[in-house]
Structure 1
Amino acid sequence: MSNAPTSLEQAIERCAQEPIRVPGSIQPQGFLLVLDHSNLSILQASENSQQWFGQPAQALLGRALPDLLAEGVNLRELLANLPEDEVFPFHIGDLQLHPQAPCQAPLRVLAHAHDQLLIVEFEPSARRVSQHSDYYPLVRAFVSTVHQAKGIEELLQQAVRQIKRITGFGRVKAYSFGADGTGTVLAEALDPGYRSYLGQSFPASDIPRQARELYCINRIRVIEDADYQPAALVPELNPRTGQPLDMSFATLRSVSPVHLQYMRNMGTQASMSLSIVVDGKLWGLVSCHHEQPRAVDFQSRTACELLANVLSLQIEALEAHDSTRFLLDLRQYIVRMLAAMADHDSVSDGLLAQPEVMLQFARASGAAIISAERCELIGHTPPAAQVNALVHWLGQRGGEWVFHTDNVRRDIDVLPELAEHAAGVLAVAISQIHSHYLVWFREEQARTVDWAGRPEKHIGAQGTLNPRHSFERWQEEVRNFSAPWEPLIIEGVAELRTAVLGIVLRKAEELAQLANELKRSNKELEAFSYSVSHDLRAPLRHIAGYSELLNELEGEHLTERGKRFLGHIEEAAQFAGSLVDNLLNFSQMGRSALRLSDVDLNALVEAIRNETAPDYAGRTIIWEVAQLPKVYADPAFINMVLHNLIANAIKYSRDRDPARIEVGALQHADETEVYVRDNGVGFDMAYVDKLFGVFQRLHRMEEFEGTGIGLASVRRIIERHDGRVWAVGHVGQGASFHFTLPHQLPTA
């Protein structure tokens, strides 16, 4: 290890890298031998084995262990009792050493196979520090009452009380780990004179990462004396593997010197830790402390292990029960929200119909529904502008569809104003294309944390991490945090997103089906319109022709009244003929194929001006025709568009002297915009959506003649070119009509 100064982060990482599974030594209350499976010869021995065998550990290497035991001990037969696939130490019996050994007291022997080796541990069997000779009644009493506990804290309290009775430790406490690894003491049993830690917290850094992993697989650890002198293994490397011995499951495994100093700083000389493992994860610990060295015999350890396993299973059952109820509530909320969405035209409208359900679903104080058109807020939320800024930030970060934080100020530092209104955010994107989000907010929950000593780490002279010296209660005010988002809620949000996408897809399919039906109906209507208008042309022409002929032949014999009636017939027939012709043209626009080519707009406008010149003879019109570009379109159809727009400009400006008509164009990145502007009567923008409909008129026929089909024809032609059409007008101030044509590639 380098002697150079190091940062706190480096020291913490070094601590996390300490090889605690291969310490190379054991605690000296017993001794350890490593055997070859095939011949039971000794490959490694702890150096303190000399205390029991009367000869150095080096002298034991290579010898068969059965030769060192008392006569009549059939070691192979005892080892045959080892459970298959069992990695934990198994009590194979109490044995005596060879008569020549200085120690003739029975030794408790624990064996387990690991890493293709056989690890055998010996410890005195006569040690008994507990007043109980039979632990079964204590364990049975605990097992029979665990189901009566009303909650996890009551269950933990029962457990620490029984473990204290079994072991006799001066203080036994149970604590659970939070999401950040902080341990909080939830139950405690202690003798007079011992400091209480109930309700206090221990920082996550007190237990390094690799220690937490080891707690998950080996659920008990005993330290009989914090001042013990470790007994090294001889040789240091195992001759079979060439590596240090992995003692993950060894009962006598030596522990980190940093932890031993931690114990001494805490005033603890002996300890025992029992893991509470729930759903395969380290949920918490039962930690036993004593102010003096204290042995824990095999029976006591076995009873406590059993009790800790029952405790873990019961906590898992309680949490599973709570999770199931919580999950059922979430599903009910999801079903209610989905039902509301299905009953409305949009996701937003459905959720807005059930605002309290949306908040209860995420246990939130506020929510927002963001779509391309609007930002709807529910409950206590930041202002809409900040919510939109949040959605913009979410869209830029990419990654997962679901984002959550319980500290906005820390995790979204680019939006400091947001933290003034909310501490927690949970957001889910409900579109893969558009910026559509559902967002929930939680308010700040300021709280006071009681730490067992100031949770600060210090670096030693060698760059190692030193444990804190004081465990006096130290309070910290924690701000800017909301209640953390429960994992089930985060999973529920992902499930809700999938369901919403399903509803959107179903609505899209319904719209597509309606569009197909509408398209088919439009085709049928076009065919009908074409047929009717085509069939009406002949009789209307007959009416017009015969009325004109009647006027010529018999006009002098008609009364003035008859002549007036005949004139009305001629006008009506001519108007009906024009209407039928326009309808026929309109229906043909959807049936005829586009014949695309380069179109000179300047030439079209000039030709239309000449064609319509008789319509404005005797009027003063100021024409402002800009230099127009060439476009790629159907020449005949674009001629109809310009003819309709220019003819309308001439017609609706007839009361102006002078009339002013402007024709111009604008070039955009991907399209050309053409406009026709006049200073005529204009129109009310409240009715702008009616302008381009068939037979829609904003002025009376008596004032301005027309069939009401011209602008509908304009829209149909431009839409067939994948363009857009719109109008802007003001009553008495004129109007401007615009259409766009997309730029076409040369290969189009």
Structure 2
Amino acid sequence: MTVNQVLCENEPIHLVGKIQGFGKFIVLDDNHQIIGISENTESWLNTTDPASYLGQSISELFNQFDQENNAVLDDLLKKLPHLSTEKEIAQTTIFGDSYVIRAYRVNSLLYIEFENSDNEHQDALQLPSYSKALNQAEDRVWEALSASIRDIIGYDRVMVYQFLEDASGQVIAESKREDITSYFGFRFPEFDIPKQARALYLKNHARQTSNIDAETYAILSKTSDAFDLTDCDLRALSPIHLQYLKNGGAQASMSFSIIVQGKLWGLVACQHGEALHVDYHKRSLALFLTEFAVNKHLTMARERDLEFDRQIASLELKLKEQLLIKNDVFTALRAHLPQLAQLLNADGLAIVDKDRILLYRTLIMDDEMIELHHFVSNKTGKLLFEDHRFTIKYEDEIAFPIPFAGLVRVDIDLSRTFSIYAFRNEVVVEEEWAGNPEKIMQYDAGENLFRPSPRQSFDAWKKQIHGTAPAWSNDELFALKRIRQIVRESMLRKSEEINSLNQELIQLNNALDTYSYTVTHDLRNPLASIKLTGQFLQLKLGKENDLAARSAANILDAVDVMENLMEKILEFSRAKVYQYTPEWVDVSTSIRKIVTEYSDRFQMDPINIEIKNLLPVYGEKTLFHQVFANIVGNAIKYSSKTQDPKICIESQIRNDNIQYTIRDNGIGIDVAELAHIYDVFKRMSNSGSFEGSGVGMAIVKRIIERLNASIEVESEIGKGTTVHLTFPNAEIPVELLSHSTKAG
């Protein structure tokens, strides 16, 4: 046997086919003939069968009424052809009873509602005082609205009920009789107000049930199609909802929709322990005040948004200033982490840029942060990822204890290697519900189906929520996106500046190279003339005149210095642009020649120079010769005046690279000057007694960069210098290994 189930959200509550007893209802076609009439209209007619008027003109029905207010009805008849979905409101008296008439169009049909009225409209005169109270309430506008509406309608309880993100609701304001239980702060499950009911609240903004036990009246018709009562204020309620109200102790109920920016934000929910009909004019005043409160709420929200925007703008301005000054984004962001954390209401922050980590007020470690970064990258492709239940969802997939509950991440670059994270700690929330929020279904044996059963109890039912953090608001997420935009703009600007500077540098270097070549070339002829003159003076006059001999010697020494300087400038210029085809080079022979040449030049005994294993390197032999000539030459030169000079030259394979080490015990270099050893024409402070131009190490640095190699210099004043040259690629051909020198 199959058992069916009826769900609340599937109940067609707008097609109920009945109205409540505080009014009467008539439906007309386009010819103004009656096609629907409520059965309680019999009190107006000469017959006990209102259905006998079906098919007759509405004017024939109106002719049955007394004539004291026929002008109002005549005016209504004239307006019938022009009715729209907007309700036409009038007031009249029929057989001594006062009625509010509402006439409007629903598709091709015309609806006319006659609602009993008490004919007292004094509350409308208090509108200015109510409006003033709401206006002065500031951020307590909902409390003021609850109190104002309760004062107008005289109900036991008036609540402002807000719909939350999970579609449940919570009472955020309440005005009530002192002797009844408060529902303030209580949560109500989503199914208490099902989807189709919310859809009706979005269309019809006021609903009243004056007596849940009162008789309801069918709408008589010759058609089998039910009339759509979405906009009908007299519409009878669902039996399930009536039982729900009864279980909650309410005999009368009323609600007003709170519409914010076109969405159902919440309800003003009103309950009364006894039957009570509230006049249409009072309901209209309450609805007007509800809309007034919405406008006040939006105004306050805009003011909060403006203040938040001011905070964002302040942080943006400071960040932009820092990013203009600092070359490193990390440095700029570090100074503003406290303000960023405050703006995002974050308990901790992390910034990841490849392998660089910047942490703020979080217990997560650097290596854990890198692992988390890779994990989140693999979990989502979103530019902005937010999960306030992150730990609950993923703690089993992450190897280390997660020191937070929720996170939000924004990627700065499209490669997703540069990201900003904000963390929030766990906040244990104790939710207080109006009864157990569990939907109960009851079996109807007669119809063989389950029907939803209204909750029997609304007593406080508490539930603790663990492992979650407060969700980030839209404003906070927007702020994070703005920070991303600022950083991206700064990075782009820096990139453009660097490209521009690189182009300028290329142009300057090209001009400098051209100038260097021109100068060295054009100075050769005058320098040659000066050298010949010095040699002539030395040859002809030097033998007879000591002054002439010394002067000629000084001229020739100066010419040698200038020639050497010009040659070094030309070498430095060529070192950058020299083109070559790389190959494996056995540098042992070249190094031995350099050792012999410089030993003779600086009068050092070769026995003090130890040559160990010399491996071949990949590049160009002329460039290698220049490198070793400068490095080995410096080691010999600056050790030559040491009492017991020692120099060692060796190589080895290290981390798949070939590393050469040249070590001496010469004069050394002051640690403070090491950073300037590659500057052109820069000589160390203790090298004055040695010849040199200050260009050699600059040439070495440029060649090393051309060879994709690296250089590292360690030195201590008076104790010597060690130079490490690291060349890439250690896959040396076997035939070359046998040629490596292993002699000392």
**Alpha-carbon distance, 1:472 to partner:** 0.7
Which AA in structure 2 matches 1:35?
Answer: L
Aligned pair in 2 of structure 1 residues 234, 534: CA closer, same or farther (>3 Å)? farther
Matched, 1:285 2:267: yes
Which residue identity lines up with residue 458 of structure 1 in the other structure? I
Instruction: Supply the distance in 2 between the matched residues of 1:315 and 1:337 (Cα, whole angstroms).
Output: 33
Q: CA deviation at 1:275?
A: 1.5
Write the distance in 2 (CA, Å) between the matches of 1:410 and 1:446. 13
Identify which of 476, 486, 505 aligns with 1:489. 476
The aligned residue for residue 130 of structure 2 is 142
> What amino acid is the match of 1:3?
V
5 Å matches for 1:335-734? 335-354=317-336, 356-372=338-354, 374-379=356-361, 382-397=364-379, 399-410=381-392, 413=395, 421-433=403-415, 435-461=417-443, 462=449, 465-544=452-531, 573-589=559-575, 598-602=581-585, 605=587, 608=590, 615=597, 624=613, 638-648=620-630, 650-651=632-633, 660-662=649-651, 676-678=660-662, 690=676, 692-695=678-681, 707-716=693-702, 724-728=708-712
Tell me how far apart the structure 1 counterparts of residues 223 and 328 of structure 2 sit (CA, whole Å).
Answer: 71
Structure 1's 699 and 340: CA in aligned 2 closer, same or farther, altered over 3 A?
closer
Given residue 586 of structure 1, which amino acid in structure 2 is its aligned partner? F
Aligned mates of 2:307, 2:77 — CA distance in 1:
48
Matched with 2:248 is 266
> In structure 2, do the counterparts of structure 1 residues 700 and 195 end up closer, same or farther at CA, with 3 Å as the change threshold?
closer
Q: Is 2:130 the counterpart of 1:122?
A: no
CA distance in 2, matches of 1:313, 1:135: 21
Q: Alpha-carbon deviation of 1:333?
A: 4.1
Q: Distance in 1 between matches of 2:224 and 2:531?
A: 117
- Tell me, yes or no, if the aligned pair for 2:153 and 2:278 is still in contact at 8 Å: yes
Counterpart residue number, 2:76: 78
- 1:272 CA drift (Å): 0.9
> In the alignment, does 2:213 pair up with 1:221?
no
1:219 maps to amino acid: H
Whole-Å Cα distance in 2 between the matches of residues 320 and 3 of structure 1? 52
Contact 2:173 2:184 in 1 (8 A): yes
Q: What is the CA–CA distance in structure 1 between the aligned matches of 2:325 and 2:527, rounded to whole Å?
A: 51
Which runs of 5 or more structure 1 residues have no equivalent in the other structure? 6-10, 97-102, 239-243, 632-637, 668-672, 742-748
Once the two structures are superposed, residues 307-356 of structure 1 have per-residue CA deviations (whole angstroms, 9 ceiling, x without a partner) of: 32233233333333343344334433443443444444444434444555
Distance in structure 1 (CA, Å) of the matches to 2:262 and 2:499: 49
Structure 2 gap ranges (5+): 65-69, 444-448, 601-605, 640-644, 730-744
Secondary structure of the residue that 2:726 maps to in structure 1?
strand
Distance in structure 2 (CA, Å) of the matches to 1:191 and 1:534: 106
Counterpart residue identity of residue 508, structure 2: S
Task: Measure the CA separation in 1 of the matches of 2:669 and 2:40.
Answer: 103
Structure 2 equivalent of residue 310 of structure 1:
292
How many residue pairs end up in the alignment? 697
**1:366 to 1:85, Cα distance in 2 relative to 1, 3 A:** farther
SS class of match (1:644): helix
Tell me by how many angstroms 1:368 deviates: 4.0
Quick one: distance in 2 between partners of 1:47 and 1:384?
Answer: 78
Offset from partner CA, 1:403-449 (integer Å, 9 cap, x none): 44444434664687998644454444344456334444444444433
Q: Secondary structure at the match of 1:489?
A: helix
Within 2, Cα distance between the matches of 1:320 and 1:658? 77
Residue type of the alignment partner of 2:710: W
Q: Conserved in 2, the CA contact under 8 Å of 1:430 and 1:437?
A: yes
Counting aligned pairs with the same residue, the percent is 26
**Separation of aligned partners in 1, 2:81 and 2:488:** 52
Pairwise CA distance, 1:4: 6.5
Q: Show the counterpart of 2:724.
A: 736
Match of 2:313 in 1: 331
Instruction: State the SS of the aligned residue for 2:476.
Output: helix
Q: Secondary structure at the match of 2:523?
A: helix
Distance 1:589 1:312 in 2: 76
| CA-to-aligned-CA distance 1:496-516 (integer Å, 9 cap, x gap) | 333343344344444444444
CA distance in 2, matches of 1:360, 1:528: 57
> CA distance change for structure 1 residues 702 and 174 in 2, over 3 Å: closer, same or farther?
closer
Match for residue 3 of structure 1? 3
Q: Please, what is the CA RMSD of the aligned residues? A: 4.7
Shift in CA distance, 403/538, structure 1 to aligned 2, threshold 3 Å: same
CA contact (8 A) 2:92 2:100 kept: yes
Could you state the TM-score of these two structures normalised by the residue count of structure 2? Answer: 0.77
Corresponding residue number in structure 2 for 1:110: 102
8 Å CA contact 1:453, 1:474 repeated in 2: yes
> What CA distance in whole angstroms lies between the structure 1 residues aligned with 2:116 and 2:614?
112
How much does 1:273 deviate?
A: 0.8
Aligned partner of 1:36 among 29, 42, 45: 29
Contact 1:279 1:316 in 2 (8 A): no
- Aligned residue for 1:87, secondary structure, equals coil
Q: CA deviation at 1:565?
A: 8.1
Q: 1:400 to 1:56 in 2, by over 3 A?
A: farther
How does the TM-score come out when normalised to structure 1? Answer: 0.76
1:700 CA drift (Å) = 6.8
> Secondary structure of 1:175's partner?
strand
Structure 2 distance, partners of 1:684, 1:226, is 99
